[in-house]
Amino acid sequence: MKRLTLITTLFVFISNCLFAQWTANGANIYYNGGKVGIGTTTPSYPLTLNNTSETGIQTIYNGTSVYLSHGGWGMGAGKFGIGNPSLPTLVINAVANGPSSVGNVGIGTVTPIAPFHVYTNTDIYGIVTGDDSHSNLRISGTAGGAAGYGLLQTFIGGGATTGGILSLQRDAGNVGIGTSDTKGYKLAVNGSFIATSVTVKLNSAWPDYVFKPSYQLPSLSEVKTYIDQNQHLPEIPSEQEMAKNGLDVSEMNKLLMKKVEELTLYLIEHQQQIKDQQQQINALKKQMRALKKSKII
């Protein structure tokens, strides 16, 4: 009887010691002290989870699971992932003094190669701030495994009518301001712009060759014939070409300078003709005076 009483007392004492650390409050259970270990008998922190499988923690909402994993899903040691085994949506590098010690964060990839790496299998936007009804920033790249460049767009006032847009296009690296369609140009501006200075570097010769002796200056009669037939100057684009292709500022300035230089040559030639004619007139006047003095006329 004494032995039974001793065993019962010891059991109650041990139970009180064990369960004194846990407190039940309705459906909630609280741990009052010490450390909790899952998969380990020597927890080092308030909660230590030791697991050899790929998934460490599972949460379920309406039948859909989201998992937390350390080193699983092909990520490797020192990486913490959130998502599911087929496609972790967030990966954080946490290992120190190793190839992944930079602390990269990956979304949609288990091997982030930059401090912040967003991966997608489609050409959809990888990063979007704001919504379609307000100003927002959108960043996207090409689909995973495909060659190409990304896209950066800033919208000011979204919706059916966009108040403004800055677009850095993929492929050729084109820039669009006020438009996302650059028509293949390096810079496309939908609207006007102002600048205190613009420098255009030519890829062809400036028309100083007009002043070289070897240059064949068209006669004014030839120019007149061309104008009568085409209703615009030679080499200058027509109105229809301008309406279709726009104005090439660099090429047009070069052509206008060529016409100015040709016009200068025409003026110089015309001035020489006037000078020669004046000399002839003066000579004739002199002869007339001489004839009058000799009373021949």
Opening angle at CA 140, ends 110 and 150, nearest 5: 105
Opening angle at CA 62, ends 56 and 65, nearest 5: 20
pLDDT tens digits for 63-103?
Answer: 666 666 665 555 555 566 666 666 555 666 655 444 444 56
C-alpha pair distances (Å), 208 with each of 134, 230, 255: 53, 26, 11
CA nearest to 110, candidates 79, 132, 141: 79
pLDDT of amino acid 112:
72
> Does this model's pTM top 0.85?
no
pLDDT of amino acid 199:
86
Compute the average pLDDT of residues 19-33: 65
- For the beta carbon of residue 81, count every other beta carbon within 10 angstroms: 25
pLDDT band at 283 (very low <50, low <70, confident <90, very high): very high
pLDDT tens digits for 100-154?
Answer: 445 666 776 767 777 777 776 665 555 565 565 555 565 665 555 554 445 555 6
Residues 6+ apart with CB under 8 A from 233: 223, 226, 227, 259
Structure letter (DSSP) for residue 209:
G
Token pair of 292, please?
A: 């009058």
C-alpha pair distances (Å), 120 with each of 88, 142, 278: 12, 8, 83
The answer to whether the CB of 152 falls within 8 A of the CB of 141 is: no
Token pair of 80, please?
A: 């913490």
- For the beta carbon of residue 109, count every other beta carbon within 10 angstroms: 20
pLDDT band at 228 (very low <50, low <70, confident <90, very high): very high
The mean-pLDDT minimum among 38-47, 100-109, 177-186, 236-245 falls in 100-109
Token pair of 106, please?
A: 């990956």
Token pair of 272, please?
A: 């020489």
Compute the average pLDDT of residues 12-19: 48
Q: What percent of the chain has pLDDT over 70?
A: 50
Mean pLDDT of the chain: 73
pLDDT of amino acid 147:
47
CA nearest to 135, candidates 107, 156, 121, 159: 156
Rounded to 5 degrees, what are φ and ψ at 245? -105, -10
State the Cα–Cα distance between residues 252 and 48, nearest whole angstrom: 74
Structure letter (DSSP) for residue 91:
E
- For the beta carbon of residue 120, count every other beta carbon within 10 angstroms: 16
Domain boundaries, the chain: 1-33, 40-119, 125-196, 207-293
- The amino acid present at 176, given as its one-letter code, is G
Which three-class secondary structure state does DSSP give residue 186? coil
Structure letter (DSSP) for residue 237:
P
